[in-house]
Amino acid sequence: MEHRPIGSLSVSIVGLGCNNFGGRMDAAATASVVTSALDAGIDFFDTADVYGGGLSEEYLGKALGARRSEAVIATKFGAPNSAKQGMPRGGAAWIEVAVERSLRRLGTDYIDHYQLHFPDADVPIEETLRALEALVKAGKVREIGCSNFGSTRLYEADQVAKEKSLAPFRTVQNRYSVLHREPEPKVVPACRELGIGLIPYFPLESGLLSGKYRQGQPLPEGTRLAAFPEGQRERFTGGDNMQRVEKLHAYAESKGYGLLDLAVSWLTSNPVVTSVIAGATRPQQVAANAAACGWRMTEEDRQEIDRLLA
């Protein structure tokens, strides 16, 4: 498994998204998936304090147990409505509370990568960065990142970090996939210029790019998309997405691969991408995700895929 840097950290290019832990998965299922991930060479685990109402962090910490040192734990704070009343979610006071709660749930004394989940327009970015700098100096956090930031906020945060000699954001975590290209015009160039890694969330578009869904066929029972309310499901299956999925299926098969391989390898072939944090609910899915980065996609492949989707 190839590794890429997050500042001083080194993480597997395929990670494990942990948003199902504590929701669709109980502690036993979580432990099985986490163990399978470590055994497959996946060492990057991305969670958040709001996933599963806090159970995701708790289950992840218990699942890692004595293997904590083999893992790079990334978690997030500052989602909407996550802070105590009267505490801005990006402010220093809440960060001090939130990190202690995450450390306790994870059962560890340090967080490898701590990320601001959403921008907080009510708090100057300098206050957020100073609070995170204090955590780095205290040894409670090793590197920091952000999520759902546009390019303007990335440039601002980087400038403040440089001017005030504060720890910079090493990554930004935004929605990005072969079907969802919103970061490409501005965020990807900003990442390239600033040396910030991009961690795509929804890299498989909630399973749409896993290979399980075909145009004109019913959604398989028990799958994530099948369980979504219709309005939420349309976010992924709507428009011409199913037609585009069929084109990608055909292209992947013409190269001897599956759609999952295409979705993961398309992302990992972009050097600005740090790790593809695909979710999994079963060990078999973990193994498939880990193997999916085996396609060494060329620039010609990427250009042909762009032509297919144009």
Residues classed as catalytic: 51
Task: Identify the burial level of 150 via C-beta atoms within 10 angstroms of its C-beta, where 0-12 means exposed, 13-18 middle and 19 or more buried.
Answer: middle
- State residue 140 phi and psi, 5-degree precision: -85, -20
From CA 224, how far away is CA 202, in angstroms rounded? 12
Contact between 205 and 236 (Cβ < 8 Å): yes
CA distances from 70 to 39, 62, 114, 127, 190 (A): 10, 14, 17, 32, 31
φ, ψ dihedrals at 90, nearest 5°:
-105, 10
Pairing of strands 276-279, 14-17: parallel
Q: What is the torsional sign of CA 89, 50, 175, 129?
A: positive
- DSSP tag of 273: B
13: DSSP letter: S
- The DSSP call for residue 219 is P
Question: Which residues are 199's β-sheet partners?
Answer: 173
